[in-house]
């Protein structure tokens, strides 16, 4: 592992960023925010166009004759059952974000949109925008990145690296070597920094839940570090067992808790209100999602443009940041499935789940605002981490449901770290599909160290900007490898 220059440079790069974050948090935040804002201000059209094109390409591939091609040899069969496959990819792709944003995101949009229309239309629109951020467009980014990796790895026998498609299609030329090397480096960087930030955010959310549950106020750093320590102990053992055993079990448990929580809130809360919200948002979403993907809010006022940049563009860039990790991971678990089965599974099922999830947790938030006149919008300003727990406090068995939320958040972070360690181990030694345990453990330790650094620096805003910076070049890389896939598919059929 230490003989691998790619890995050493990736380690130096991530270490440098972590160190910079500790020494000069404000400087790092300012630099990242300046560059991210520059790109967002003038390139928003390109980001939205890229995301929409990826969705259109995914839909076209699923229904084209290429859809019959297997991700693997023609006699390969899927390694995981369809249910395990879906829960694993969903847990890796969204996980802790859903628990965090379930109510907080629709309400955040509602607060802005109600300045322009009445409350009821604002709630409807807020739910639509949330579904847009977590729906087909997000999953198309993951799906298509994973598809490229799976196709070239399992069908063409290439190493499971981001650079492999370029070399496979255009040969080992000077530009494919240099662009490919840079792509692999950026992929490792994006994954490591992204997961480090995810650990820190997960820890802060769990901390907020524990404080809410035990009535602690401002517990400080000791609780965060204690949660982090428990988290480290929890993710070491799955790294030592086979992926299929460790990950499938953890993902299934986390998803079962999240699903159970959703059903409980649906049944214990105002079911009629929530079901009406869900059914309305399904129709709204599927009729408006594709045209909305091309919306850039160019002619709106400053408030709307800022809101668009800090939500829609930030989310889309975040999905790109996570694409190398989730894409490679879902590619790894999708061997033996056809392109059609893969694309429809990866895009449609999680999108429906998200619509149900936000339908339940968003609607309960709107119910509390519109019918119970609860102070949830004020809570949104004071402590956004607490919103999920705020909603649960209005329901029966709130201690139990809060505990379940904490447990699910914990498991989602653990599954993310485990699968990220796996993906990084596959990258570093040159695309090994079954990396050795010690390599996975080393990556687990590095990710933990990055997470701890971010917890200690207490600067999630800086982390978000840095992740954005890591993700932006990835938009170009994803488009490049998708072009390689289309070229390879064309030559396979003709």
- Cβ proximity to other proteins: between 297 and 476 the closer is 476
- Cβ proximity to other proteins: between 168 and 330 the closer is 168
Q: Which residues pair with 338 in a beta bridge?
A: 70
Q: How far is the CB of 134 from other proteins (least distance, A)?
A: 27
Binding residue for other proteins, selected from 7, 18, 39, 411, defined by CB under 8 A = 39
The gap from C-alpha 393 to its chain's centroid, in whole angstroms, comes to 27
- Residue 31 in the binding site for other proteins (CB under 8 A): no
- Cβ proximity to other proteins: between 53 and 456 the closer is 53
Selected range binding other proteins among 39-47, 210-218, 229-237, 433-441, rule: CB under 8 A: 39-47
Structure-derived torsion over alpha carbons of residues 431, 432, 437, 443, reported in degrees to the nearest 10? 0
> Could you give the string, one character per residue 40-59, with x where binding to other proteins holds by CB under 8 A and - elsewhere?
-xxx--x-------------
**In the range 102-121, which residues lie near other proteins by CB under 8 A?**
none
Q: How far is the CB of 42 from other proteins (least distance, A)?
A: 5
CA distances (Å), 451 to each of 9, 113, 481, in order? 19, 35, 30
- Cβ proximity to other proteins: between 152 and 366 the closer is 152
- Residue 177 in the binding site for other proteins (CB under 8 A): no
Binding residue for other proteins, selected from 69, 147, 169, 313, defined by CB under 8 A = 169
Return the closest-CA partner of residue 418 out of 259, 242, 205, 256.
242
- Cβ proximity to other proteins: between 253 and 483 the closer is 483
Return the closest-CA partner of residue 127 out of 309, 292, 306, 259.
292
Selected range binding other proteins among 100-108, 352-360, 393-401, 482-490, rule: CB under 8 A: 482-490
- Cβ proximity to other proteins: between 243 and 484 the closer is 484
Q: Which residues pair with 70 in a beta bridge?
A: 338
The number of residues that bind other proteins (CB under 8 A) is: 19
62 vs 350: CA distance, rounded Å:
16
- Running DSSP on this structure, what letter comes out for residue 241? S
Residue 445, Cβ density class (10 Å: 0-12 exposed, 13-18 middle, ≥19 buried): middle
- Cβ proximity to other proteins: between 122 and 470 the closer is 470
43 vs 62: CA distance, rounded Å:
29
Residue 286, Cβ density class (10 Å: 0-12 exposed, 13-18 middle, ≥19 buried): middle
The label of the residue with tokens 């594709």 reads: 290
Element (H, E) at 316: helix 314-332
Angle at 364 between CA 359 and CA 368, to 5 degrees: 150
- Residue 210 in the binding site for other proteins (CB under 8 A): no
Q: How far is the CB of 484 from other proteins (least distance, A)?
A: 8
- Residue 483 in the binding site for other proteins (CB under 8 A): yes
325 vs 321: CA distance, rounded Å:
8
- Cβ proximity to other proteins: between 38 and 230 the closer is 38
Q: How far is the CB of 170 from other proteins (least distance, A)?
A: 6
Selected range binding other proteins among 6-14, 190-198, 215-223, 486-494, rule: CB under 8 A: 486-494
Q: Are 79 and 244 in contact (CB under 8 A)?
A: yes
- Cβ proximity to other proteins: between 53 and 370 the closer is 53
Phi, psi of 338, deg, nearest 5: -80, 160
- Cβ proximity to other proteins: between 164 and 326 the closer is 164
Q: In the chain, what is the greatest distance between 2 CA atoms, to the nearest angstrom?
A: 66
CA distances (Å), 91 to each of 142, 189, 487, in order? 13, 21, 31
Q: How far is the CB of 488 from other proteins (least distance, A)?
A: 5
Q: How far is the CB of 491 from other proteins (least distance, A)?
A: 6
Q: Which residues contact 52 (CB under 8 A, 6 or more apart)?
A: 137, 290, 293, 294
Selected range binding other proteins among 60-68, 75-83, 274-282, 483-491, rule: CB under 8 A: 483-491
How many Cα neighbours within 13 Å face the side chain of 266?
Answer: 16
Binding residue for other proteins, selected from 8, 38, 229, 397, defined by CB under 8 A = 38
Binding residue for other proteins, selected from 55, 112, 148, 168, defined by CB under 8 A = 168
- Residue 298 in the binding site for other proteins (CB under 8 A): no
Q: How far is the CB of 46 from other proteins (least distance, A)?
A: 5
- Cβ proximity to other proteins: between 34 and 279 the closer is 34
- Running DSSP on this structure, what letter comes out for residue 365? H
**In the range 344-373, which residues lie near other proteins by CB under 8 A?**
none
* Site residues for other proteins per CB under 8 A: 38-39, 41-43, 46, 168-171, 476, 479-480, 483-484, 486-488, 491
């Amino acid at each position: 592992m230490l003989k691998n220059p790619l890995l050493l440079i990736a380690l130096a790069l991530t270490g440098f960023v972590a160190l910079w974050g500790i020494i000069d948090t404000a400087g790092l935040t300012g630099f990242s925010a300046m560059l991210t804002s520059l790109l967002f201000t003038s390139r928003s059209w390109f980001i939205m166009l890229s995301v929409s094109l990826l969705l259109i390409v995914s839909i076209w591939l699923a229904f084209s004759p290429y859809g019959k091609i297997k991700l693997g040899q023609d006699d390969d069969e899927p390694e995981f059952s369809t249910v395990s496959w879906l829960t694993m990819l969903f847990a890796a792709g969204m996980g802790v974000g859903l628990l965090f944003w379930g109510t907080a995101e629709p309400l955040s949009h509602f607060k802005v949109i109600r300045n322009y229309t009445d409350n009821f239309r604002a709630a409807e629109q807020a739910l639509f925008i949330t579904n847009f951020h977590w729906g087909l467009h997000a999953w198309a980014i993951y799906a298509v990145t994973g598809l490229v990796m799976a196709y070239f790895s399992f069908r063409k026998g290439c190493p499971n690296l981001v650079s492999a498609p370029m070399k496979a299609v255009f040969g080992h030329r000077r530009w494919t070597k240099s662009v490919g090397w840079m792509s692999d480096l950026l992929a490792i960087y994006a994954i490591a920094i992204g997961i480090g930030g995810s650990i820190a955010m997960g820890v802060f959310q769990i901390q907020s839940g524990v404080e809410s549950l035990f009535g602690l106020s401002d517990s400080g750093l000791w609780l965060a570090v204690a949660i982090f320590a428990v988290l480290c102990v929890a993710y070491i053992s799955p790294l030592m067992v086979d992926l299929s055993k460790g990950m499938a079990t953890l993902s299934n448990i986390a998803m079962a808790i999240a699903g159970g929580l959703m059903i409980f809130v649906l049944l214990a809360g105002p079911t009629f209100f929530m079901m009406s919200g869900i059914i309305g948002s399904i129709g709204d979403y599927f009729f408006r999602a594709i045209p909305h993907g091309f919306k850039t809010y160019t002619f709106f006022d400053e408030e709307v443009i800022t809101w668009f940049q800090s939500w829609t563009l930030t989310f889309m860039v975040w999905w790109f940041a996570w694409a190398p990790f989730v894409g490679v991971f879902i590619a790894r678990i999708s061997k033996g499935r056809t392109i059609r089965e893969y694309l429809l599974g990866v895009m449609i099922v999680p999108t429906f789940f998200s619509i149900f999830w936000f339908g339940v947790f968003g609607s309960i938030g709107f119910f509390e605002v519109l019918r119970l006149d609860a102070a949830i919008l004020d809570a949104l300003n004071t402590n956004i981490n607490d919103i999920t727990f705020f909603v649960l406090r209005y329901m029966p068995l709130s201690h139990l449901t809060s505990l379940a939320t904490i447990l699910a958040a914990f498991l989602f972070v653990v599954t993310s770290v485990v699968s990220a360690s796996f993906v990084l181990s596959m990258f570093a030694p040159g695309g090994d599909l079954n990396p050795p345990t010690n390599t996975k453990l080393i990556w687990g330790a590095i990710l933990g160290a990055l997470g701890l650094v971010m917890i200690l620096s207490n600067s999630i805003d800086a982390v978000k900007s840095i992740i954005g910076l890591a993700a932006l070049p990835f938009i170009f890389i994803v488009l490049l490898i998708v072009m390689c896939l289309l070229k390879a598919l064309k030559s396979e059929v003709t």
